[in-house]
Structure 1
Amino acid sequence: MARNVLIVYAHQSPCSFNAALKDAAVEVLQKQGCQVTVSDLYSLNFKASATAEDVIGELKDPEHFHYGEETMLAWQEGHLSPDIMEEQKKVKAADLIIFQFPMYWFSVPAIMKGWIDRVLTQGFAFTFQAMYNNGIFKEKKAMLSFTTGASQSMYSPAGLNGDLNVTLWPLQNGVLHFCGFQVLAPEISYSPGYCPPEARTQILNSWRKRLEGLWTEKPLTFTPCELFNLSFQGGFMLKDEVQAAQAKKKYGLTVGHHLGKPIPPNNQIKADD
């Protein structure tokens, strides 16, 4: 059975390096027999802002509009706006989602953030009973593929921009892992705008080679929900015995759950060996 891949793509120019990375992914994955769909957000003129217009029909509480509650109800009743429903169909069909974008202000472009805000609605993408490693999309894979304006050294723990592992934590843990995705290590193309042509060719060839074995890659490691007291009484904190077991270890569990210790090296960039 053919695998389905969705590429959520955010760049304005078809001549960009992001476009080249996207095209390489389409080419290699289709050669593997995958069904590849590209959501070109700029070509779609995808609406970035999450507003009451995303609900078709009457609101539950028009006097005090709550986006999360209203869109969850609209999803349940099939009353979300057509552009959201179309993207949700693509997500539902996908075995793998690749987010292809240039890093803007240490995050995704606004149009892609709008896709995240609007498409990954409560009920469809998560509930507060089904999240993280028990999440709705736990059978699906997802990954970031992005370009930077700065060099790799600038995103190191001693670099001017700081540790990229910290930068990626909100997207990879707070969005993808929260929805249950198995998060593959990101594909990072450092500073292609300042690279000579032969270096850009090498980056593309490396991406193509990785894509050939992508389905067998081990996902990044996150702390499972079972290690936490999942109640208001327990404060949703790591269990006492877990914290005690970690006391003598050099590193914390993850970038986010560092327990006041050094962050595990490359926790958000490479899978554990």
Structure 2
Amino acid sequence: MNHLIIYAHPSAESLNATIKNNLTDMLKGEHEVQIRDLHQLNFNPVLSEQDLSGQRSGVVAEDVKTEQQLIEWAECLTFIYPIWWAGMPAIMKGYIDRVFSYGFAYRYVQGKQLGLLSHKKVVVINTQGKSAEEYQSSGMDKAITLTSDFGIFQYCGMNVTAHLIFDRADKATPEQIKVLHSAMNDIYQG
């Protein structure tokens, strides 16, 4: 299976980097894996007027075209990023804004929205500083998954097969990381 990992965290020493590296090690050998480290790529997250006008006519910038070709290649996309201010980091949001463009990821047919990436599986792996209980008590856990899973990925026709949220990430222990690794193994190997 062709796996595309889209990763957003500025630190190579972060828990997110550990997750990305563990997942890459787990998948390599049995699968083809491509990694898009948005910070390492210095991906421009700003949707410009030129981007916006080009989307309607099917004209995209070269960096966007490269990402779209990789998405076309992939059978499963994994998005790894922390939850900051109750959402994804700006670079990941900008990636979505620019790459999941009209005519590539979705379009409208006779006034109805049509997702164009229906043959893709998606896994989302997030880290967050707060406890799961804190997010659940406020409803933020549902808001976060609703926004990404339904508002972005399912909107584009994708099948979200799993959304893992690793809480208290700033206090992660080796044992908790092993549990997360086991959960990832169940998702990808199961």
Q: TM-score, normalised by structure 2?
A: 0.91
Q: Report what 1:71 is aligned to.
A: 55
Measured after TM superposition, the shift of residue 184 of structure 1 is 1.4
Of 155, 165, 176 in structure 2, the residue corresponding to residue 199 of structure 1 is 176
Trace 1:37-116 onto structure 2 (pairs within 5 A).
Answer: 37-54=34-51, 67=52, 69-73=53-57, 75=58, 79-116=59-96
Higher normalized helix content (fraction of residues)? 2
- Post-superposition Cα deviations, 1:116-170, rounded to whole Å, max 9, x if no partner, equal 00001100111112977x52111111121110111111121xx2x4241232212
Q: Hey, what's the Cα distance between the residues in 2 that align with 1:194 and 1:165?
A: 23
5+ residue gaps, structure 2, are none
Counterpart in 2 of 1:260? none
Give unpaired runs (5+ residues) of structure 1.
55-66, 214-273
Pair 1:166-2:143 in alignment: yes
Matched, 1:129 2:126: no
State how far apart, in whole Å, the 2-side matches of 1:121 and 1:210 are: 28
1:96–1:141 CA contact under 8 A, matched in 2: yes
Shift of 1:53: 4.6
Count of equivalent residues:
189
Alignment root-mean-square deviation, CA: 1.9
Residue deviations 1:190-247 (CA, integer Å, cap 9, x gap)? 112113332233323332343211xxxxxxxxxxxxxxxxxxxxxxxxxxxxxxxxxx
Decide which structure has the larger Cα Rg and report it.
1
Contact 2:79–2:123 (CA under 8 A) maintained in structure 1: yes
SS of the residue aligned with 2:28?
Answer: helix
Please say if residues 11 and 19 of structure 1, whose CA atoms lie closer than 8 Å, have aligned partners that are also in contact. Answer: yes
Distance in 1, Cα, partners of 2:149 & 2:38: 20
Name the structure where strand makes up a greater proportion of residues: 2
Aligned-partner Cα distance in 1 for 2:28–2:106: 30
Structure 1 runs of 4+ with >4 Å offset: none
1:15 is the counterpart of 2:5: no
Deviation at 1:171, TM superposition (A): 1.2
**TM-score calculated relative to the size of structure 1:** 0.65
Which whole-Å deviations, capped at 9, do the CAs of 1:61-108 have from their partners, x for residues lacking one? xxxxxx2x43221x2xxx421110100000111111111001111111
**In 1, are the aligned partners of 2:86 and 2:140 still within 8 Å (CA)?**
no
The amino acid that maps onto 2:36 is S
Partner Cα separation in structure 2 for residue 97 and residue 172 of structure 1? 13
Aligned partner of 2:156 in structure 1 is 179
What's the counterpart of residue 265 of structure 1? none
Pick from 185, 205, 211: which aligns with 2:188?
211
Tell me, in whole angstroms, the C-alpha distance in 2 between the residues paired with 1:176 and 1:210.
18
Alpha carbons 2:153, 2:160 under 8 Å: kept? yes
